[in-house]
Chain A
């Protein structure tokens, strides 16, 4: 990036003012960050912890933020990096405790999903089941595909925003997303039959 493009936001600010500035930016995007963290980790406790750690790191390196970019994207990149590091660590420690997939006291249900009044109880139950299945399908994806599908499909970010957050070219986002969708589609078809999605769509 060209040095001239860097917009320094902290010039002339006192430490207290910097703190205030940071807090205001965080307030505007903390819900988005929490959602992102939840979809990445699949657990609300882990998500809170992830966001808190990302905020701590962002605050420590706040002077590296370039104000010509979106603050939320910058924060999301930091959050994604924290998640990647934790994921690697967890994967490493899983070697020492095989078979223990979920941690004790792990909370998984934060369901309160917006149900359409037109849907009958059977439809609602099926939808709930399919969404639960999709959650598990996302967890089974390789990390790189999971990141893209969470950003583009679940969180509805554009390819450009996703490429900025992940730090890869647009073409890579495009191909990863397609492979991820195809993989999820195959998993759904294996469990619910080939025509399930055609009927659902």
Chain B
């Protein structure tokens, strides 16, 4: 084992998390290598200081599992979900309404416009029969003609 390999395993050695074989050969190396021994001591110091971080804080905080808060939050989440669901549903209805309304408006502009109806009527009657155009009475007849009597 060289120093580089040992260096990578020092932490696990310190935590006694090495398998027996690794532990044995690492220990052997440490007995004759002062550089790795020094490195191990530094890591040991870090580990010990880290533990002091936990020991050093006062955790006698007045913390209690607050059922009321948990239930309140659960209710809020449910309420929020219901509101979001309603909003989404309203949005879908609005979009559908808008699409249908647009279709209707487009149909009225393209087909129901008096000028277009007059043109349609004239072109269908061949402009020669001199049939007077009355929007009210001829409208349905013209549509029937256009749609093939459906």
A interface residues, Cβ below 8 angstroms from B:
19, 23, 26-27, 30-31, 34-35, 38-39, 44, 48, 51-53, 55-56, 59-60, 110-114, 127, 130-131, 134-135, 138, 149, 152-156, 158-159, 174-175, 177-178, 181-182, 184-185, 188, 197-198, 200-201
Alpha-carbon separation in the docked complex, A113 to B17 (Å): 29
Given contacts A56-B74, A110-B58, A174-B11, A198 and B38 within 8 Å (CB-CB): yes
Is B45's CB within 8 Å of the partner chain A? yes
**Nearest-CB distance from A153 to chain B (Å)?**
4
A56 and B45 alpha carbons, distance in the complex (Å)? 38
Contact (Cβ within 8 A) B11 A181: yes
B61 and A44 contact, CB distance less than 8 A:
yes
Question: A34 with B61: in contact, given A56-B73, A153-B50 (CB under 8 Å)?
Answer: yes
Pick from B12, B43, B50, B63: contact of A30, CB below 8 A: B63
Q: Please give the residue numbers on chain B whose beta carbons come within 8 Å of chain A beta carbons, in ascending order.
A: 8, 10-12, 15, 17, 38, 41-59, 61, 63-67, 69-70, 73-74
> Inside 8 A of B63's CB, which chain A residues have their CB?
30-31, 34, 48, 51
Residues of B within 8 A of A114 (CB): 55-56
Interface SS majority for chain A? helix
CA distance in complex: A162, B113 (Å): 76
- On chain A, the residues within 8 Å of B11 by CB distance are 174, 177-178, 181
What separation, in Å, do the CA atoms of A131 and B10 have in the docked complex? 23
CB of B54 within 8 A of CB of A159, answer no
Given the interface pairs A48-B63, A51-B63, A56-B70, the reply to whether A197 lies near B57 with Cβ below 8 Å is no
Q: Which residue of chain A is the closest to B60 with respect to CB atoms?
A: A112
With the chains together, A182 CA to B14 CA distance in Å? 13
Contact of B41 among A30, A131, A197 (CB under 8 A): A197
Contact with A154, one of B50, B64, B74 (Cβ below 8 angstroms): B50
Taken together as a complex, chains A and B put the C-alpha atoms of A163 and B51 apart, in Å, by: 19
Residues of B within 8 A of A23 (CB): 65, 67
Interface hub of B41, B44, B57, B61 (most chain A Cβ within 10 A):
B57
Given the complex of chains A and B, what is the CA–CA distance between A56 and B66 in angstroms? Answer: 10
| Whole-angstrom CA separation of A38 from B61 in the bound complex | 11
Query: Which 3 pairs across A and B sit closest by C-beta, in order of nearness?
Result: A113-B56, A112-B58, A201-B45
Best-surrounded residue of B15, B38, B69 (most CB of chain A within 10 A): B15
* Closest CB in chain A relative to B68 CB, distance in Å: 11
Expressed in whole angstroms, the Cα–Cα distance for A95 and B142 within the complex equals: 65
**Contact between B70 and A55 (Cβ–Cβ < 8 Å)?**
yes
Quick check: B66 and A52 within 8 Å, CB to CB?
A: yes
B65: nearest chain-A partner, CB-CB: A26
* Chain A residues closer than 8 Å to B48, beta-carbon distance: 201
Cβ A178 vs Cβ B53 within 8 A: no
Asked whether A34 and B65 contact (CB < 8 A) given A134-B50, A200-B49, the answer is no
B11, B17, B44, B67 interface centre (most CB from chain A within 10 Å): B11
Q: Is the CB of A60 within 8 A of B74?
A: yes
Closest to B42 in A: A197
